[in-house]
Structure 1
Amino acid sequence: MIRPKQTTEITSNQVHTAFKAVLNILHKWHCTTEEMQILLGLKRSTLFKYKSMPEKASISQDLTERLSYLLNIHAALRILFSNPDSIYGWVRKPNRAPFFNGKSAMDIMLQGRVVDLWAVASRLNAERGGKS
């Protein structure tokens, strides 16, 4: 018997919960408002509106992807490190790995493109390998 391809639909409630979680992570990364805007791809007024009423946020595909990558970065860091200072501090530390070339993950992510978030998440996922 051929089964239909299953798709995973993300509910609006799940995305709003993810948005709140990412705001908490960005706070722990000591992000400024400007950095949050860049990482989330939002205008200042939109960011403040969403922060005050996350359940009313209009979540675009772009923002959904950004939230996903930021959550994946955080999850990988929690697997790689047990110390909260390392979990939340790693993104700002200069990194000598070839991809980073002395820059921090935050430096890379603040270039503002979704692909930059993907690149950092991919490097961390490769680093963690089979750890879970």
Structure 2
Amino acid sequence: MLDTATPTHDKAAAAAGLKTAVRILDRWGASGEQGEAILRVSHSTYARARRGDLAEIKLDRDQLTRISYLLNIHAALRILFDNPANRYGFMAMANHNPYFNGRTPLSLIGGGDIAALYETFKRIDALRGAQW
């Protein structure tokens, strides 16, 4: 069986990733409940990430994957948009392209389904040429 706990030497990187992901979610206008569902973390872990108090954080592979998708969505948006209002507002804007069908990307990923997070990443990445 695979160990899904974060190795000790990666805890600092995991903490930095989580803290950054929470800051991005805040900039996108995500509620605490949405952020907790997207990252699949507890309310207390999310609150600690907001405060930057992550000395003893333990994240599993699923949580690290979610953080990675979120950071990559943010990176793609930074490439696509020079304007901060679009860069940070895109996720809360109604999107009428296929898959989104008038919903906001944030509302789709806010339910916590990792498949929705992946699909959202994939479609935003495709806008910039999908050259990761």
Shared fold (TM-score, shorter chain, > 0.5): yes
Equivalent residue runs for 1:14-93 within 5 Å: 14-52=13-51, 53-93=53-93
Task: State the one-letter code of the partner of 1:25.
Answer: I
* Alignment-derived partner of residue 97 in structure 2: 97
SS, match of residue 56 in structure 1? coil
Is residue 29–residue 89 contact of structure 1 (8 Å, CA) maintained in 2? Answer: yes
The alpha carbon displacement at 1:15 in A equals 1.6
The alpha carbon displacement at 1:36 in A equals 1.3
TM-score, with structure 2 as normaliser: 0.84
* Alignment-derived partner of residue 115 in structure 2: 115
Q: Please say if 1:13 is aligned against 2:9.
A: no
1:131 & 1:86 partners in 2: Cα distance? Answer: 21
| Total equivalences in the alignment | 124
2:120 & 2:130 partners in 1: Cα distance? Answer: 17
CA gap of 1:54–1:82, structure 2 versus 1, over 3 A, is: same
CA gap of 1:49–1:130, structure 2 versus 1, over 3 A, is: closer
> Pairwise CA RMSD of aligned residues?
2.0
CA gap of 1:130–1:123, structure 2 versus 1, over 3 A, is: closer
TM-score, with structure 1 as normaliser: 0.84
Structure 1: state its 5+ residue gaps: 1-8
The alpha carbon displacement at 1:40 in A equals 1.1
Is residue 34–residue 112 contact of structure 2 (8 Å, CA) maintained in 1? Answer: no
Structure 2: state its 5+ residue gaps: 1-6
The alpha carbon displacement at 1:130 in A equals 6.0
Identity %: 31
The alpha carbon displacement at 1:45 in A equals 2.7
CA gap of 1:77–1:11, structure 2 versus 1, over 3 A, is: same
List 4+ stretches of structure 1 deviating above 2 A: 9-12, 45-52
Is residue 108–residue 116 contact of structure 2 (8 Å, CA) maintained in 1? Answer: yes
Task: State the one-letter code of the partner of 1:12.
Answer: K
The alpha carbon displacement at 1:50 in A equals 4.4
SS, match of residue 55 in structure 2? helix
Point out which structure has higher relative CO (alpha carbons under 8 A, 6+ apart): 2
